[in-house]
Structure 1
Amino acid sequence: MHILVVDDKQVILDSLRAALTAQGYFVDTAIHGLAASEKLQNTVYDLLIIDHLMPIMNGIQLTKHVRQSECSGNTPIIFMTTQGQSSIKSLCNTDLFSAVIDKPINESNLLKLIKELLSPNTRYQLL
C-alpha cells in the first residue's frame, strides 16, 4: 500500500516514514501542498496524510484540490492539525477528510486508524 505524507516539518516526515515503512507501507513524502500536488499527478496513492498549516499550499487547499481530481478524489485523507479538531470544523467542511487527528501524533492510534481506512478497500486487495 502506498501512502503520501505531507508536512512542512522534516522531523515529522522522517518519523512518520519510519513508522509506516516498519509496518510494510510504501511511503512518499512532500514538504508542502504544491509538492504533494505534483506527486499526485504521477502516482496513485492508497492514503494521504496531510498537515494543516504549511507554506505555499496549506492542507485544506491541498485537500480541496485532491477532492476535485478524477484520479485521487476518493482517496482516504487523514488530516493532521495542531489547531484542535473543533477549530478545523469552524474553518471548513470536515467531510473532506476521512479522519482528523491532533498533533503531536500518537503513533499507535495513527496505525490503527490507517488499518481501519485501508483494510476494506484498497486497490492492492483487488489484485
Structure 2
Amino acid sequence: MNILVVDDKKTVQDMLTDLLISNGHTVDKAINGLDALSKAQQGNYQLFIIDHLMPLMNGLQLTKNLKNNPELANTKIIFMTTQGSQTLKTLAEFPLFDSVIDKPIDKTQLLNLITQFTDEKFDCESLQVNS
C-alpha cells in the first residue's frame, strides 16, 4: 500500500515510516498540510496518515482539501491527534476521517487499522471511527 505520512515532527515521521516499511508498505513523508496536498495531487496513495496540529495548513484543512478533490476524495484517512479522539467528535470535519488514533501512537493499533483497509474481505460499510 502506498501511504503518505503527514506530520511536522521528524521523530514521528521516522517512527511511522520505519514501522510501515517494515510491514511491507511504501511510504512518503510530508512536513505539513501544504506539502502533503502537493504530494497527494502528484502521487498515487491508498492511505493518508495525517497529524492534527501542524503549521501552514493543519490536518483539518488538509483533510477538507483532500475530500474536496474528486481524485483524492475516496482515499482513506487515519487522523492522528494529541487532543484526544473524543474532542474531535464535536468537529464538523469528524465524518471525513476513516479513523482517528491518539498520540502517542500505539503501533499495534495503527497496524490493525491499516490491515482493515487492506483486507479484501473487509466491508467498508462496517468501518467505524475509534470511540
> TM-score, normalised on structure 2?
0.89
CA distance in 2, matches of 1:120, 1:95: 23
Counterpart residue number, 1:64: 64
Report the CA distance between 1:52 and its aligned residue.
0.2
- Show structure 2 runs of 5+ residues with no match: 122-131
More helix by share: 1
Contact 1:52–1:81 (CA<8 Å) still a contact in 2? yes
Partner of 2:22: 22
1:46-71: per-residue Cα shift (whole Å, max 9, x none)?
00000000000000000000001111
Secondary structure of the 1:90 match is coil
Q: Which residue of 2 aligns with 1:40?
A: 40
What amino acid does structure 1 have at the position aligned with 2:99? A
Fraction of identical pairs, as percent: 50
Q: Secondary structure at the match of 1:14?
A: helix
- Corresponding residue of 1:125: none
Alpha carbon RMSD of aligned pairs, Å?
1.1
Count of residues in correspondence between the two structures: 121
What's 2:9 paired with?
A: 9
Runs of 4+, deviation exceeding 4 Å: none
How far apart are the structure 2 equivalents of 1:80 and 1:40? Answer: 18
Q: Distance in 2 between matches of 1:58 and 1:92?
A: 15
SS in 1 for 2:18: helix
Decide whether the 8 Å contact of 1:3 with 1:47 is kept in 2. Answer: yes
| Structure 1 position 95, deviation (Å) | 1.0
* C-alpha contact 1:44 1:71 (8 A) present in aligned 2: no
Deviation per residue, 1:25-49 (Å, 9 max, x gap): 0000000000000101110100000
Structure 2 partner of 1:101: 101
State the match for 2:119 in structure 1. Answer: 119
Unaligned runs of 5+ in 1: 122-127
**Aligned mates of 2:48, 2:98 — CA distance in 1:** 10
* Amino acid corresponding to residue 56 of structure 2 in structure 1: I
TM-score, normalising length: structure 1 = 0.92
